[in-house]
Amino acid sequence: MKKYIFLLSVVLLFLACEKEMMDYEGKDGVYFSVQEVPPSLYGNPEIWAHVDTTLIPFSLLLENDSTVRLKVRVMGQVVNYDRYFTVTVVDSLTTALVGEDYAPLEERYVIAAGERDGYVEFTGHRQAKMLDSTYYVTLRLIENEYFSLPMNIWRPLENKDYTKEEQDVIRHVVGLSDEVFMPKAWTKNYFGPYSKKKIKLLCEMFGLQMSDFDNVITMDMERQRTYAQGLDKYLKEMEAKGETVYEDEKDKEGNPVKMAVGPLV
Calpha distance 169→34 (Å, rounded): 9
pLDDT at residue 160 in the model:
61
Chain Cα centroid distance, residue 12 = 44
| Strands 171-177, 53-57: pairing kind | parallel
Query: What type of residue is 157?
Result: L
Q: In this predicted structure, what is the pLDDT of residue 7? A: 44
pLDDT value at residue 20? 40
Cβ atoms within 10 Å, residue 136: 18
Low-confidence ranges of the chain (pLDDT < 70): 1-26, 38-43, 155-162, 164
Which residues have C-beta within 8 Å of that of residue 65, sequence separation ≥ 6?
Answer: 123, 124, 125, 126
What's residue 11's pLDDT?
Answer: 44
- Enumerate domains of the chain plus CATH numbers: 29-177 (2.60.40.1740), 188-258 (no CATH)
If you write DSSP's letter for every residue of the chain in order, what string do you get?
A: -HHHHHHHHHHHHHHHHHHHHHS--SS-EEEE--BPPPTT--S-GGGSPB-SEEEEEGGG-S-SEEEEEEEEEEES---SS-EEEEEEE-GGG--S-BTTTBPPPPS-EEE-TT-SEEEEEEEEE--GGGGT--EEEEEEEE--SS-B----EEPP-TTT----S-EESSEEEEEEE-S----SS--HHHH-S--HHHHHHHHHHHT--GGGGG-TTTS-HHHHHHHHHHHHHHHHHHHHTT---EEEEE-TTSPEEEP---TT-
Residues 197-248 pLDDT 10s? 999 899 999 999 888 898 888 899 999 999 999 999 999 999 999 999 999 8
